[in-house]
Amino acid sequence: MKAIVVERPGSPAEFTWTEVPDPEPAADEVLIDVAATAVNRADLLQAAGHYPPPPGASPILGLECAGTIAQVGADVTGWAVGDQVCALLAGGGYAERVAVPAGQVLPVPAGVDLVHAGGLPEVACTVWSNLVLTAGLRAGQTVLIHGGGSGIGTMAIQVAKARGATVAVTASRAETLDRCRELGADIVIDYRADDFVTALPAANGGRGADVILDVIGAKYLTRNIATLADGGRLVIIGMQGGTTAELDINALMRRRAGVIGTTLRSRPGTGPGSKAEIVAHVRAELWPLVSAGAVRPVIDSVVDLPDAARAHRRVADGGHFGKVVLRVPDAGAPAAGN
């Protein structure tokens, strides 16, 4: 098969679309003929040489895919050759074929194009696990989502609205803020012009955030805690603003607040807190919302996989809205939207 191989790590990295050995599915895995994968910020870090795959994972980039099952391992039940699926991967998505544990496979939700489904699993699993399973976001609560225009942000806005929350977002461009509002955000904050610590309560009847989904980390820690309502939870899933900061424990205690950090990729495949457990929740609880059209994949653009370097530049430069999908040539609809 062919795959994207990182020829020279860096920012930008140099890629080649070249022949590599086919993956061999284990007894608990299925082999997927990939129609599409998608760019995640983690791919940019891995391509730069800063985010090695977890032990046992494919060294090939790609944390998600959609496609057609080509082979089913001996111990797998519930999936058959020919099923159209999407899957959460620990790696290996930037390729014509990938082997994945059956517990990380999802059906393509009704009404979602197979190519667009390649950009769904990572954001669906990250947002559902953090906003719903970890933070317990409920109707009537306020959530602050940093980076509302990101792949993660566009899914988080919709999930939070579907759960009946008041949604505030930060982003850096007027056009991105407008599109977040169209997607359902109630409060939009330009983080370059305004301080969310004061802007959120000013627009929310004096109330802070019950939940914050944060992708910045150290740079926002103090301000995030200052923005939490009593009993609030700050869930940190990204470190774009650094990894190390001082924590004001007094501010945390006064609010009876919690700070939680999670990563999806490093979770075990099975067992408590695993990828399979999250995938099962997503299938049972989020997929019906997607099939009903209440939550949809937001696709910035579709780029042919051999041109992955261009797709990475699009994400690195910023200004995209939603996911940049990578289509395997001859496997699905023609590239469009970019």
Site for ligand NAP, residues 46 to 85, rule: CB under 6 A? none
Q: Is 126 exposed, middle or buried (0-12, 13-18, 19+ CB in 10 A)?
A: buried
Output the six-digit token pair for 229: 């309502």
Per CB under 6 A, does 229 bind ligand NAP?
A: no
Name which position in 6, 60, 117, 152 contacts ligand NAP (CB under 6 A): 152
Please, what is the minimum distance in Å from the beta carbon of residue 70 to ligand NAP? 27
Query: First CA to last CA across the chain, in angstroms?
Result: 26
User: Three-state DSSP class for 190?
Assistant: strand
Name which position in 237, 305, 325, 331 contacts ligand NAP (CB under 6 A): 237
Please, what is the minimum distance in Å from the beta carbon of residue 80 to ligand NAP? 30
Per CB under 6 A, does 94 bind ligand NAP?
A: no
Q: How far is CA 59 from CA 51, 62, 97, 255, in A?
A: 11, 9, 14, 43
**With contacts defined by CB under 6 A, how many residues of the chain interact with ligand NAP?**
28
Output the six-digit token pair for 87: 């899957």
Residues 6+ apart with CB under 8 A from 34: 65, 66, 67, 93, 95, 96, 97, 98, 118, 328, 331
Site string for ligand NAP, 254-283 (x = CB under 6 A): --------xxx-------------------
Per CB under 6 A, does 166 bind ligand NAP?
A: no
Asked if residues 55 and 22 have their Cβ atoms less than 8 Å apart, the reply is: no
- Give the binding range for ligand NAP (CB under 6 A) out of 6-14, 77-85, 167-175, 272-280: 167-175
Name which position in 142, 176, 224, 227 contacts ligand NAP (CB under 6 A): 176
Site string for ligand NAP, 131-150 (x = CB under 6 A): ---------------xx-xx
Per CB under 6 A, does 16 bind ligand NAP?
A: no
Where do the H-state alpha helices sit in the chain? Answer: 41-47, 114-117, 121-127, 151-162, 174-183, 196-203, 221-227, 249-255, 275-281, 287-291, 308-317
Per CB under 6 A, does 332 bind ligand NAP?
A: no
Asked if residues 167 and 188 have their Cβ atoms less than 8 Å apart, the reply is: no
Q: Which residues bind ligand NAP (CB under 6 A)?
A: 40-42, 122, 126, 146-147, 149-153, 170-173, 176, 191, 215-216, 237-238, 240, 262-264, 315, 318
